A and B are shown apart, each in its own frame.
Chain A
């Protein structure tokens, strides 16, 4: 079996679970983790697309860019979540959406 088929299945799994997590989860930390899963799926898809299209190096260099950007997104998101927890005392997205001001 070619490695592309399991990689494609892995992309579908990661993107699907990450997308579902973004829609359904209420904890801010869990949402950041779901975003991480989604980006990991995009990462595998980039490398797989590069391999399939015959431009493996281009796909890999774009994947490196995605890793760096994703790390910064996680760091800033976690710092924001800490601030939200300190200021409002909760990480529940539904409770945060009801706050005034």
Chain B
């Protein structure tokens, strides 16, 4: 029991620190610790495969992506007041949580627990459900990963080309100011003739 209380307390502390950290890099590291706590909770819930996946992707890959993005875009802290007033946001959050808890907590949860337990006479394993019953999900995930990768590559390639254009334009301007354009074309033609 003490371990669970400590785990949930650590989770809450790290999640609050993600919101309150002044630097983005520290917030990313706090988010990685939140992922670690979540994977421990998943393991305690009897889902070791999901816990391992969350630990490797949530705490590993996503953290690396966030740190990479921060290193490209810069770690400038914003100390401006929030868009929605703080008390309005807190009230909306509390209302949403109360509605969620009212929908999930007993006696509704007991009804949900009793209904499907009678149907599943033979308990299916995680692998059987994942690879047979939920095969469309797997195919959708593969398609989603390709689409996501293409999107990221497209976004970053566009930025690379625009950055190249930005860096090349001043050099061209200087070259055109120094020597007239026809001279440059003549030099290129001479170079091509010499190459042939």
Contacts and interface: CB of A to CB of B under 8 A. Distances in A.
Interface of A: 1, 3-10, 12-21, 23-27, 29-30, 32-34, 36-37, 40, 43-44, 47-49, 51-65, 67-72, 74-76, 78-83, 85-86, 91-94
A36 B78 contact: no
Contacts of B12: 13, 17
Prevailing SS type, chain B contact patch: helix
Nearest to B27: A33
Contacts of B5: 6
A16 B148 contact: no
Interface size on B, as a range, is 35 or more
- Top 5 closest A-B pairs, CB basis? A72-B148, A24-B82, A54-B117, A57-B129, A6-B4
Interface stretch (B63-71, B167-175, B178-186, B188-196): B63-71
A43 B129 contact: no
Contact of B19 (A21, A44, A47, A48): A21
Interface in B1-54: 1, 4-5, 7-8, 11-12, 15-16, 18-19, 24, 27-28, 31, 34-35, 37-38, 41-42, 44-47, 49-50, 53-54
Contacts of B88: 23
Contacts of B82: 23-26
A23 B8 contact: no
A57 B124 contact: yes
Interface in B135-158: 137, 140-141, 144-145, 147-149, 151-152, 155-156, 158
Contact of A72 (B8, B28, B144): B144
